[in-house]
Amino acid sequence: MARALVDMAGASILSAVNEPAVALAERLLATLPDADSRRVWFGHSGSDANDTAARVVTAATGRPRVVAFEGAYHGGLAGSSAISGHPSLDHGAKAPGLIQLPYPDPREGAEAGGDVLEILDAHLARHGREVAALFVEPILSDGGLIVPPAGFLHGLAARCRAHGILLVCDEVKVGLARTGHLHAFEAEEIVPDIICLGKGLGGGLPLSAVIGPVAVMDHTTAFSLMTTAGNPACASAGLAVLDTIARERLAPRAAVAGERFTAGLRALGHPLVRDVRGRGLAIGVELAERGAGAKACVRALELGAVFYFVGRDVLELTPALTISDAEIDEGVALIGRALDDVAAGRVPDSAVAAYAAW
């Protein structure tokens, strides 16, 4: 990293490659079974990765439609928000012919995995040949931290294969070891055609990647050209992140740490908690009262920890993968205190009024 900053921090991969970017591309490809038939694109954020993927799939295949999910957050740029179903991105235009499916939610009253696959089958029976790609978050994150039922991703992959549709996994939030696997899709032993990575990939520096088939990624020159993408400083950070994940065995550690976290949260037995769910260190705590999510986050912030809420009232816990057991226990206790205060009415509406929330 120091050498990258001193030597050529301003260099991009527009006109000449640099060693860290090539090394990072090779390292990412090596995480997949069919590396030779793939290419890597680098960007700066989850939004630009999904934006690039969303635009290139229709351009490269000549098929005009995309399938994606209600509640999905793929990014805040025109192309990525056009395929998103998250309410915060309702303002922009949606992709022409976008097919939006409900995300299967194991909770009562919601569509189960089989129901959603049936809905997809009905769409594909009419429009299968028009669909370029299906975008899915292996765990719906900002839409409510929902883990799909077993077999669902497999079902999607089978339908994509049957109709010649590219399967795109948005691994921006839950990828790179968070779920206990390097890639979250590994939970169902599927291999998507296209993978979008971001967030933790740069360890805090702006770095994202799209990995996909040669024919799609090499569609045209300069399809999604960004001057500083693939710069050596961010690429070095990406290499350091992948090294750390491997050296510190962070994927299996995330699985164990996640079990401790969820067990601790369940053991609170808190009346405000309706459900604790997740995979590894992607954890959702669904609260039983409307508005409790915002209040719990504000109270937790006062007590010294940052949490988010997603969906309606689901606390999202996506801590650093290096979190210690002691920090997990402290986090559980702190959430318990925050929830006690919310339940006892000690967090007034006025305490959350100053914060904009989705």
Ligand X SMILES: Cc1ncc(COP(=O)(O)O)c(C=O)c1O
Q: Catalytic amino acids?
A: 73
Beta strands in the chain (DSSP E): 38-43, 65-69, 99-101, 131-136, 166-170, 194-197, 208-213, 273-279, 282-287, 308-310, 314-317
Return d(Cα 248, Cα 240) in angstroms, integer: 12
Q: How many residues does the chain have?
A: 358
Q: How far is CA 228 from the centre of its chain?
A: 23
Other CB atoms within 10 Å distance of the CB of residue 254 = 26
Q: How far is the CB of 72 from ligand X (least distance, A)?
A: 7
Q: In the complex, what is the shortest distance from the CB of residue 184 to ligand X, in angstroms, rounded to a whole number?
A: 10
Binding positions for ligand X, 115-174, rule CB under 6 A: 137, 141-142, 170, 172-173
Which structure tokens are listed for 124? 């594909």
Question: Closest CB to ligand X among 47 and 52?
Answer: 47
Residue 211: phi and psi, rounded to 5, are -120, 125
- Out of 42, 73, 152, 309, which residue is the one contacting ligand X (CB under 6 A)? 73
Asked if 230 interacts with ligand X (CB under 6 A), we say no
**44 vs 295, beta carbon nearer ligand X:** 44
Backbone torsions φ then ψ of 204, nearest 5 degrees: 110, -20
Nearer to ligand X, 202 or 264 (CB): 202
Note whether 75 binds ligand X by CB under 6 A.
yes
Shortest-Cβ-distance residue relative to ligand X: 46
Subset of residues 274 to 313 that bind ligand X, contact rule: CB under 6 A? none
- How many residues interact with ligand X (rule CB under 6 A)? 15
Three state DSSP letters for 178-236: CCCCCCHHHHHCCCCCEEEECHHHHCCCCCEEEEEEHHHHCCCCCCCCCCCCCCHHHHH
| CB nearer ligand X, residue 65 or residue 199 | 199
What's at 15, amino acid-wise? S
CB 88, min distance to ligand X, A: 10
- Strand pairing partners for 309? 315
Contact map string, positions 168 to 207, toward ligand X, x by CB under 6 A: --x-xx------------------------xx--------
Binder of ligand X out of 38, 65, 74, 299 (CB under 6 A) = 74
Q: Compose the 22-41 pattern: x for residues touching ligand X by CB under 6 A, - for all others.
A: --------------------
Closest to ligand X by CB, 140 or 342: 140
Cα 265 to chain centroid distance, Å, stands at 23
| 41-60 positions binding ligand X, by CB under 6 A | 45-47, 50
User: Residues interacting with ligand X, by CB under 6 A?
Assistant: 45-47, 50, 73-75, 137, 141-142, 170, 172-173, 198-199
